[in-house]
């Protein structure tokens, strides 16, 4: 991420909205680290609002799946593994088109996510990795990454004051998610949470 360029861009937005009153600016991103960085900028204090487009809650998820004819057990299975993450729910809805078993699809998604997370750990173990952060290249320590993942063995989310390098690394690998507004760190989805817990049990 080009820090100076982002700084200039948001100064331009402030000029458009607060100085010249010419427009409102909406910025959408799925990069939670970017939001965390923007949210912490003093120049935006009192000049911006952050809207989190989050997963569905339980009731909304049930109602959403009702629209596609899912039965009670199917809906509960979907919630157990996918929570209210819309992109995963759409994958389950697509089983209605492909005539695939929803239960098989859920377990396939879970197996794939476990494999992906396990690959991240294995790569760290075999060849290591580094993270470029604020212009510096920092070596990622495997044991600290495992500790960061293990911290979710009994909790679904946790508050933070400052993210560790390992947590930032896991966010960049799309395993963890930063809610900068509430200062909360959590797995990207319920599927990720379950996959992390199972991978850590056998790591």
Distance in angstroms (rounded) separating the CA atoms of residues 143 and 47: 40
- Examine the domain organization and report whether 106 and 180 are in the same domain: yes
Structure tokens at 185: 């760190």
pLDDT digits (tens, 9 = 90+) for 33-59: 676 666 566 556 666 677 777 899 999
- Whether the full predicted model's pTM is greater than 0.75, yes or no, is yes
Read off the pLDDT of residues 113-170 as tens digits, 9 standing for 90 and up.
Answer: 999 999 999 999 999 999 987 788 999 999 999 999 999 999 999 999 999 999 999 9
In a domain, 52, yes or no: no
User: Which class for 28: exposed (0-12), middle (13-18), buried (19 or more C-beta within 10 A)?
Assistant: exposed
51 is a domain residue: no
Q: Do residues 66 and 32 share a domain?
A: no
Backbone angles phi, psi at 187, to 5 degrees: -60, 155
Residue 16 sits in the same domain as residue 89: no
Q: Do 195 and 113 contact (CB within 8 A), yes or no?
A: yes
Position 49 in a domain = no
Q: Find the CATH number of the domain harbouring 90.
A: 1.10.10.10
- Residue 133's domain spans which residues? 58-202
Answer for the pair 195, 47: CB distance below 8 angstroms, yes or no: no
User: Are residues 68 and 127 both part of a single domain?
Assistant: yes
Q: Looking at the domain assignment, is residue 196 inside a domain?
A: yes
């Amino acid at each position: 991420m080009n820090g100076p360029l982002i700084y200039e861009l948001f100064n331009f937005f402030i000029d458009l909205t607060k100085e010249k009153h010419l427009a409102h600016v909406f910025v959408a991103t799925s990069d939670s680290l970017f939001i965390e960085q923007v949210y912490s900028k003093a120049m935006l204090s009192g000049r911006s609002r952050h809207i989190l487009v989050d997963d569905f809650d339980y009731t909304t998820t049930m109602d959403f799946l009702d629209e596609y004819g899912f039965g009670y057990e199917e809906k509960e299975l979907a919630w157990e593994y996918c929570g209210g993450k819309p992109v995963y729910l759409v994958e389950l809805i697509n089983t209605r088109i492909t005539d695939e078993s929803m239960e098989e699809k859920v377990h396939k998604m879970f197996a794939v996510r476990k494999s992906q997370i396990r690959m991240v750990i294995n790569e760290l173990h075999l060849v290591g990795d580094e993270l470029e952060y604020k212009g510096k290249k920092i070596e990622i320590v495997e044991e600290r990454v495992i500790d960061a993942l293990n911290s979710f063995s009994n909790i679904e989310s946790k508050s933070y004051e400052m993210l560790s390098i390992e947590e930032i690394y896991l966010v960049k690998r799309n395993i963890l998610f930063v809610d900068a507004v509430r200062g909360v760190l959590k797995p990207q989805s319920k599927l990720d949470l379950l996959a992390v817990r199972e991978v850590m049990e056998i790591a």
